[in-house]
Amino acid sequence: MAQVTLKGNPVQVKGNLPQAGAKAPAFSLVGEGLADKSLQDYAGKRKVLNIFPSVDTPTCATSVRKFNAQANDVANTVVLCISADLPFAQARFCGAEGLENVKNLSTLRGAEFLENYGVAIADGPLAGLAARAVVVLDENDNVLHSELVGEIADEPNYEAALAVLK
């Protein structure tokens, strides 16, 4: 079990974040229109998994905006924003913000994703949600980069995540 903090308070995180060189675990999450979406649906594309608790928090919203702004600069790459938010809330946020370069996925019917990707918050006020992390995959779902952000309220290292795709 890993440990991160939330505003300085320790939080336990279950599972193991996939490390560079590993094969990414398969997943099934919920996308637009409540459709099931799997890792296989993005086959042949490089993927940035932007994982966070909820788009309704300032840092999470910032991460979606920043990855959206940089997504077009990276060829053959899709940014998947993954949170516990319902697809309707995710779509409302992106629509209001004019964000069109990211795909939203919900853990609504994919709770196993949280532990399989080592981001399952086990205790504290956000128990049951995802810790903040970024996992970057190549076209064959091999992990190129991963970061479990040590402080949930902090932003991920965007430059490090995107550098492996240049």
* Catalytic residue numbers, as ranges: 60
End-to-end CA distance of the chain: 32
Per residue in 26-59, is it b (16+ CB within 10 Å) or e — as a string? ebebbbeeeeebebebbeeebbbbbbbbbbebeb
Structural contact between residues 156 and 63, judged by C-beta atoms closer than 8 angstroms? yes
